[in-house]
Amino acid sequence: MYSDLKDKVVLITGASKGIGRGIAQRFADEGVKLVLNYSSDAQSATETLKAIQEKGIDCVMLKADVSSPAAITELFDKAIQQYGKIDVVIANAGIELVHKSVLESTEADFDKVFNLNVKGTFFVMKNAARCLPDGGKLIVISSTMSIHPEFGAAIYASSKAASKLFVEVLAKELGPRQISVNTIMPGIIDNAGVIKDYPAEAKKTVIEGSPFRRLGTVEDVANVVVFLASKEGAYIHGHHLSVNGGSMF
User: Cα–Cα distance between 249 and 239 in angstroms, integer?
Assistant: 19
Q: Is residue 246 part of a domain?
A: no
Residue 235 a catalytic site member? no
Q: How confident is residue 99, by pLDDT bands cut at 50, 70 and 90?
A: confident
Q: Is residue 247 part of a domain?
A: no
- In this prediction, residue 247 carries a pLDDT of 79
- How do residues 55-84 score in pLDDT, each as one tens digit? 999 999 999 999 999 999 999 999 999 999
- In this prediction, residue 119 carries a pLDDT of 97
Q: Is residue 190 part of a domain?
A: yes
Residue 194, pLDDT > 60, answer: no
User: Cα–Cα distance between 170 and 125 in angstroms, integer?
Assistant: 8
Q: Per the residue annotation, which of 17, 156, 242, 247 is the catalytic one?
A: 156
Q: Per the residue annotation, which of 16, 39, 67, 143 is the catalytic one?
A: 143
Q: Which residues pair with 241 in a beta bridge?
A: 184
Q: Is residue 26 part of a domain?
A: yes
How far out from the chain centre does Cα 37 lie?
A: 11
- In this prediction, residue 249 carries a pLDDT of 65
Residue 143 a catalytic site member? yes
Greater model confidence, 197 or 129: 129
Q: Is residue 245 part of a domain?
A: no
Residue 180 a catalytic site member? no
Residue 38 a catalytic site member? no
Give the mean model confidence (pLDDT) for residues 193-210: 74
Q: Is residue 16 part of a domain?
A: yes
Q: Per the residue annotation, which of 17, 33, 137, 160 is the catalytic one?
A: 160
- We report the CATH number of the domain holding residue 222 as 3.40.50.720
Q: Per the residue annotation, which of 16, 39, 67, 142 is the catalytic one?
A: 142
pTM reported for the whole predicted model: 0.94
User: Cα–Cα distance between 127 and 162 in angstroms, integer?
Assistant: 17
Provide the H-helix boundaries in 133-184: 154-174
- Cα angle for residues 106, 109, 113 (degrees, 5° grid): 150
Provide the H-helix boundaries in 57-152: 69-83, 107-114, 121-131
How many structural domains does the chain have?
1
Q: Is residue 131 part of a domain?
A: yes
Q: Is residue 47 part of a domain?
A: yes
Q: What is the mean pLDDT of the chain?
A: 93
- In this prediction, residue 246 carries a pLDDT of 84
Give the mean model confidence (pLDDT) for residues 219-230: 97
- In this prediction, residue 198 carries a pLDDT of 67
* Domain of 112, in residue numbers: 3-240
User: Cα–Cα distance between 15 and 164 in angstroms, integer?
Assistant: 20
